[in-house]
């Protein structure tokens, strides 16, 4: 990386302000991703996934029973 060349303290302050804001934005993005991950690991989200899986399993089981009776 090239070292930036500053000609005044105002430029340095401006660059520091930009870097500080970029850091805050990145921290907020990390928080957002963490909250999304937490929501995906909540018991209600996990039960929803298991619920869909169990419904398919139940439908398959019932349909096989019905087909065996008619065979």
Which contiguous run of DSSP H or E holds residue 37? helix 9-40
Give the chain's domain count. Answer: 1
Domain that holds residue 57: 9-70
Digit-by-digit pLDDT tens for the chain (71 residues) are 688 899 999 999 999 999 999 999 999 999 999 888 877 776 666 556 666 667 777 788 888 888 787 76
Residue 1: inside a domain: no
- Per-residue model confidence (pLDDT) at position 51: 64
In a domain, 3, yes or no: no
Residue 4 within any structural domain of the chain: no
Q: Which pLDDT belongs to residue 1?
A: 67
| C-beta separation of 4 from 15 below 8 A | yes
Contact (Cβ atoms closer than 8 angstroms) between residue 45 and residue 39? yes
């Amino acid at each position: 990386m090239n070292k930036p060349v500053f000609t005044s303290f105002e430029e340095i302050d401006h660059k520091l302000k930009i870097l500080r804001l970029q850091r805050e934005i990145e921290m907020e993005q990390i928080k957002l991703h963490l909250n999304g991950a937490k929501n995906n690991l909540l018991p209600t989200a996990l039960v929803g996934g298991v619920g869909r899986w169990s419904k398919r399993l139940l439908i398959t089981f019932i349909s096989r029973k019905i087909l065996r009776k008619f065979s």
